[in-house]
Amino acid sequence: MAQASVVLLWHMHQPCYVDPLEGESLMPWVRLHAVKGYFDMIHAANAVPEMRCAFNFTPVLVQQILGLRDRTVADRWLEWSLKPAQELSLQERVWLLEHFFKANWDNLIKPLPRYWELLSKRGTDFPKARRESIAGSFSVQEMRDLQTLFNLAWCGYAARKFHPEIEELRQQGRGYTEEEKLSVLEIHHKILGRLLDDYREAEAAGRIETTTTPFYHPIMPLVYDTDFAVRCMHGRVLPNRFSAPEDVQAQLALALRQHEQVFGKRPKGLWPSEGAIAPELVPLMAEAGIEYFFTDEGNLFKGLERDTDWKDKSVDHLELFQGWRVEHGEASVNALFRERPLSDFIGFNAARNSPEAAAAHLIHHLAHIAEVADREDAVITLVLDGENAWECFPDGGEKFLNLFYSQLCEHPVLRPVLPGHYFEEHLPKVITTRLHTGSWIGSDFDIWVGDPEENQGWELVRETRAFLAENEFTVGDQDREAAWRSIYAAEGSDWFWWYGPDFSTDCDLLFDELFRSHLKNVYRCLDRQPPASLDVPVCKTGEALSLTPPSSLITPDINGRVSSYFEYYGAGSFDPAQQGSAMFQSDRLLRMLWFGNDEEHLYFRLDFRKPFAGEIRFNFSLPRDVSLTVRMAPGLDESEARLRVLGGDEVPVPVQSCLGDVLEFGCQLSVLGFLLGEQVGMFLQIIRDGIEVERHPERGVVSYPTLDPERPTENWWI
């Protein structure tokens, strides 16, 4: 019986956590996965010398590893860890207690008794109303132990092997000094310093192969043309068409260039982000020099159903276990299709079994496939996430991987091979000309398009990219390149993964903020003010606003004081005290916001807690992107504000405003370009010396309809 080749591809990926304006990584998962999953995985492969496997590194992950290694990227969570515990403010204690238990409780926290003790003291729930009082109950030593244990827990088995002091600190368990805490963080940096070199050396020795992904991990078919989703998602509501095949080309070119610089050779293979593929991508891959790609088995079989060359053939499932040539027009690229059940078993179920049972299950089924396939070019392709599953194993997956790798290498009918070597030995004998358009999840794009939040995200990308294409040559090469990089980053799949109902995390709003920050950076690179719409979260998981809509027309006197109760009778209102974090609760300047309109004007009243001098900026995202900035000081009666329409310069416009006991502000609807009956969406900024000191609401917008006297209101007051 012929041996079957087994191709194993581990996909390593993290989204771009770096705020493009501040150059700071807002989340720690690149560093923490580096000292656990990424470092463990290369040394698990090295531990079995005969093992051959491939690792797919997304360029955006590699870019962040390099930035953290070279310290050109700041790490917010590292700074929280570095700060001496005795110098932590109350708010910083709250942050640490909120975030430093974000680890697998069973496998990373419970094995460290002190860590579990601290979690028990904080509580498995951390209610907002009690966070400051809970944080105040922790001693300096407890906070220092938390800083140390969080970073210690993430050190994997390879880190312990190369740095025995980690195990010594784990055994110590508590009472850490500042010097001991810093020693853990220094080990993190040492691992970051050697990590990519370890993979490069293993590839040079022929033990592994590295492959790549388009730079910022975009869903290539959707970036090429969002209307491609119609092919696999019939009847779904899609965003206005976005089509940028040149961005797909650019992201491929950037990926290949960086990969060669880091790993010393251009990659032959590609894991399309999320296994997402469409036939139109074949020419782009071939032109870029990609020799083979991976995707899911569902995309093969769904494509063969429509392939005229296979119409009269009985498509046996065994067709999966061979290399394929995929053709589109004059172009062709080789392909390996992922065997789904065994790949998913490793990622989702292996940790629920003993290492012995999990390894035996895989070997048994791989051997069975080899027996029934029984041909010289048989190949079984396993593709899965190479970082997240290991937190579910009590030992980080060390024993399971060692057993699986060893038994695979020793098996008489199985042979682990590198994907490039497989195609060097076996030219594909089968061809398909009708590659299915879809991803590795459900053979469609449901995770990334078709829900209101996802569609809104694509609309923002489309609008921002169009603005860039029209204005890119108004700045120099460096700024233009940075702007395009920000567009490519916003095209990444991860933002859309967390939009919509499919997946959720307690960091949804942070992912949302990062997505919009990349789009806002496009405008900043072009020396333009980002539109107000990009300050409005796409994600709808935030707290509901404490908002009362207007119920009747108002026409107040703009004199800086409330003449009578009835002056704002029927106005809408928003209470800032009901919003946001406790961090700014006690120091807010704004006590209440009132708003409404008459037949010609839009009005606002701002009630302050204490005197204020500076500027107020009203930012409207609905019914059009426009902002109004007015200068304010006690007793100052202003008749002019600065108006800016999306993409334009500020121009003076007539308004009515006065700051006395309250700030009153009025502007003609015609100046703003608004019509009666239209929905208004706005937020305001309080600015002092050019710095935003408050934003209201902190997330989202105050949204309400302007009232039209010709139309009856739904809210009757009696």
Looking at mean pLDDT, say which of 3-12, 490-499, 699-708 comes out highest.
3-12
- 176 with 307, same domain: the answer is no
Full residue range of the structural domain in which residue 510 is found: 452-535
pLDDT bucket at 108, cuts 50 / 70 / 90: very high
CA dist., res. 652 & res. 12, Å (int): 52
Instruction: Decide if pLDDT at 148 tops 90.
Output: yes
Flag whether 356 is in a domain.
no
pLDDT in tens, 610-621: 887 889 999 998
DSSP reduced 3-state for 201:
helix
What is the CB-side half-sphere exposure of residue 353 using CA atoms within 13 A? 15
For residues 525 and 647, membership in a common domain is answered with no
Same domain, residue pair 506 and 636: no
pLDDT of residue 375: 92
Place of tokens 């926290």: 109
Residues 300 and 218 grouped into a single domain = yes
Return the pLDDT at 22: 85
pTM comes to 0.82
- What lies within 8 Å, CB to CB, of 558 at 6+ separation is 656, 657, 658, 664, 665, 666
As given in the structure block, the two tokens for residue 422 are: 């497989």
Q: 465 and 551 in one domain?
A: no
Whether 133 is in a domain gets the answer yes
In a domain, 237, yes or no: yes
Q: Are 498 and 504 in contact (CB under 8 A)?
A: yes
Could you write out the DSSP letters of every residue in 203-231?
HHTTSEEEEB--TT-B-HHHHH-GGGGGG
Domain end (from 400, 432, 464):
432
Is residue 713 assigned to a domain? Answer: no
Phi-psi region of 74 (alpha: psi -120 to 50; beta: other; left: phi over 0): beta
Q: What is the pLDDT of residue 510?
A: 81
The total number of structural domains that make up the chain: 4
711 pLDDT more than 70: no
Amino acid at 588: R
Six token digits for residue 157? 């088995």
CB 716 within 8 A of CB 597: no
Average pLDDT over residues 535-563: 79
Q: Please count the other Cβ atoms lying within 10 Å of the Cβ belonging to residue 183.
A: 17
Distance separating alpha carbons of residues 38 and 30, to the nearest angstrom: 9
Higher pLDDT, 502 or 625: 625
The residue assigned the tokens 């703009």 is 558
**Is the domain of 264 the same as that of 124?**
no
Whether residue 588 is found in the same domain as residue 498: no
Of the candidates 437, 433, 426, the one whose C-alpha atom is nearest the C-alpha of residue 323 is: 426
3-state secondary structure (DSSP) of residue 306: coil
| Terminal-to-terminal C-alpha distance of the chain | 89
The predicted structure's pLDDT at residue 633: 76
Residue showing tokens 């923490």: 32
520 lies in the same domain as 563: no
Final residue in a domain of this structure, among 535, 570, 605:
535
Given 535, 559, 583, the domain boundary residue is: 535
DSSP state at residue 641? E
Q: Is residue 119 part of a domain?
A: yes
In this structure, are 551 and 698 located in the same domain? yes
Minimal CA–CA distance to 653: which of 665, 638, 643?
A: 643
Q: How far apart are CA 322 and CA 377, in angstroms?
A: 6
Interval 115-145: pLDDT, tens: 999 999 999 889 888 999 999 999 999 999 9
561: pLDDT strictly greater than 50: yes
Domain-located, residue 385: no
| Residue tagged 């790549």 (tokens) | 212
Structure tokens at 649: 């310069």
Average pLDDT, integer, range 622-647: 82
- The answer to whether residues 560 and 692 belong to one domain is yes
Is residue 400 situated within a structural domain?
no
Question: Which amino acid type is present at position 379?
Answer: V
Instruction: Tell me the sheet residues that pair with 296.
Output: 338
For the stretch 149-202, pLDDT in tens is 999 999 999 999 999 999 999 999 999 999 999 999 999 999 999 999 999 999
Inside any domain, residue 153? yes
Q: Are residues 630 and 553 in the same domain?
A: yes
Q: Are residues 522 and 581 in the same domain?
A: no
- pLDDT at residue number 52: 98
Instruction: Give the angle subtended at the CA of 626 by the CAs of 543 and 243, to the nearest 5°.
Output: 80
The answer to whether 459 and 239 are in contact (CB under 8 A) is yes
